[in-house]
Structure 1
């Protein structure tokens, strides 16, 4: 019997941001898969220019091209017998590695980004639960893995047999989800607590942990948190409670943040993953026909307005300069005409 072809639409939702947002949905391509797939996570490979997604019901990882083709690149068939699936994926384009965290076995593996050959695999029983999220330090290749059950983050190195470098413990023992790494003079990670929506800043070298607090009257940033993605050093996109997308902007130190955009996902759509494309565009993955939304930040809007203003000022200066030059030219022309008339008058008087 021929299997049905699953048509999974990827759509772009362009948000014109304000305290609340108006949205515009545009389908850009459709994925054709020969078998039904349940997708989650969202990573971006800047070298091959495609998304990387995980299966939530099997130990498989897929790439999605801009033409809408879904291609299975990793299938750990040996893990099928224990009901394994992929918990999280991340792309280390600097060291050419694809990081894959598996759910029930507590295994984190690194694959070559070109051949998808397994380079290293490491067992992390300290997680005591499925991994909640994975992030990579692009400078040295260190990998950060959160526990969805415990309030810990493990820093590991996936080379050779793998090695555990450090274990960060948060104040309470609630499970953690999305995580991003920020390369700075003092590098740090931002990690989200799944059940509360709290975001913590943790120094990746010293392990010093501080909660990121909201600015203004709000007491909480999000009711619960699914995933976070770093848009730039000053803003985050957050997928909260599956029906809410937030755009957060930092005060510069990630001590406090403000909620710039509060987007309620309509109908039966649920936001299950977020990711940025080379730090420029943020995308959210919906589980309703697996739509991908483009999420624009207030930062982008301000930059666009700044550019428009700059161009307008240039045109204004050019117009003023042109007007002034025209006035100077007209003034010189009038002076020359008066001089010519005076000379003609003097010549007429000289004849008489």
Structure 2
């Protein structure tokens, strides 16, 4: 077996590169961002790939901030025209139209017994508000309605979950509102009324590039697949319930991420989410109260630590909050395996090269003699 000189040189360089890269690949620490914004108590955030920063909402202020990966905070949008005591709940970036979509919610009060829910659309170049579409059900007024999370499809149509009424609104690119789904599937599973989140139904929502919605339900731990054309929905068969599921996101490789206060679930499916499974879960810091998950650059997964429970109390003061990268331990264990395989190939080629060089030297010595 003979190898050309260029191939031998390439093999040697490949071996050296792989040998040096393993410690760095295996030893990279997850990224953690501490940022400061007085009494923000954020419940929602999303990643803006164009500006390369996170957009973070507030449950106490009518503002949105930008947070860099170094923790530098800049004011992005302040919308004082929103009703007083409004909160920014779900956020998502429409990458095709460069818009930010934000769920607005103001809980009922003695002065205003009917809650206010709306979807706001902001142009991310000018930060100008494009529309504010009130969200309600004209047939059945839901006193505990909460516009909780939002997803957007390829056409710019947005989909908002109502956690109090267990249905999904649809909002067009121009801000026209209709109800997409009031599927009976959303009310077909038992609820443990002893939990402190038993009134929170449909919550996190994401649009799959394959053309459907995936929605989690907090008080049942179920995941639903919803048709964007007719609103037909059915529960995804899972190997376990997603206890206290809150935010949801999806990676480019199809892995679905669901966050709760205590853990981040990693899910996959081989049949387009007729069935799926949790293949890993990572414990989170309970006291920091994670509420949202998003995917940043290079498929990195981040959760938001907004200390929301303390913020809900109304009398707490806080300056610092966090965004933490979270990794799957199983994925981290599997990644170095491929590097070791490549190193093995490199070693194999390297020893062949050494053998060939040894034979070449012996041949030259014989000719010299």
TM-score normalised to the size of structure 2?
A: 0.73
**Structure 1 residue aligned with 2:290:** 271
Match of 1:191 among 206, 215, 239: 215
Match of 1:134 among 150, 153, 161: 150
Offset, 1:24: 6.9
Question: Does residue 251 in structure 1 map to residue 270 in structure 2?
Answer: yes
> In structure 1, what is the Cα distance between the partners aligned to 2:86 and 2:349?
65
Offset, 1:92: 1.0
Count, aligned residues: 304
Match of 1:148 among 157, 163, 167: 163
Q: Deviations over 1:299-324 (max 9, x none)?
A: 74366225413431331232133034
Tell me if the contact between 1:109 and 1:122 (Cα under 8 Å) persists in the aligned partners: yes
Q: Secondary structure at the match of 2:81?
A: helix
Tell me if the contact between 1:230 and 1:279 (Cα under 8 Å) persists in the aligned partners: no
Match of 1:181 among 207, 216, 221: 207
Please list every run of 5 or more consecutive structure 1 residues that lacks an aligned counterpart in the other structure: 1-22, 341-352
Match of 1:320 among 351, 356, 364: 351
| C-alpha spacing 1:302/1:255, structure 2 compared with 1 (3 Å) | farther
> In structure 2, what is the Cα distance between the partners aligned to 1:277 and 1:26?
11
The alignment's C-alpha RMSD in Å is: 2.8
TM-score normalised to the size of structure 1?
A: 0.76
**Structure 1 residue aligned with 2:256:** 236
Tell me if the contact between 1:157 and 1:165 (Cα under 8 Å) persists in the aligned partners: no
**Structure 1 residue aligned with 2:122:** 111
> In structure 1, what is the Cα distance between the partners aligned to 2:362 and 2:72?
68
| C-alpha spacing 1:278/1:65, structure 2 compared with 1 (3 Å) | closer
Higher relative contact order (CA 8 A, sep 6+): 2
Tell me if the contact between 1:51 and 1:63 (Cα under 8 Å) persists in the aligned partners: yes
**Structure 1 residue aligned with 2:49:** 46
> In structure 2, what is the Cα distance between the partners aligned to 1:191 and 1:293?
23
**Structure 2 residue aligned with 1:59:** 62
> In structure 1, what is the Cα distance between the partners aligned to 2:205 and 2:359?
63
Please list every run of 5 or more consecutive structure 2 residues that lacks an aligned counterpart in the other structure: 1-27, 107-115, 188-199, 308-319
Tell me if the contact between 2:162 and 2:168 (Cα under 8 Å) persists in the aligned partners: yes
Tell me if the contact between 2:218 and 2:245 (Cα under 8 Å) persists in the aligned partners: yes
Offset, 1:193: 0.5
Question: Does residue 164 in structure 1 map to residue 178 in structure 2?
Answer: yes
Match of 2:131 among 97, 120, 124: 120
> In structure 2, what is the Cα distance between the partners aligned to 1:133 and 1:183?
18
> In structure 2, what is the Cα distance between the partners aligned to 1:24 and 1:302?
14
Offset, 1:200: 0.9
Q: How does 1:74-89 map to 2 (within 5 A)?
A: 74-81=77-84, 83-89=85-91
Offset, 1:25: 7.3
Q: Deviations over 1:34-70 (max 9, x none)?
A: x432112120111111111111123322211234233
Offset, 1:116: 0.9
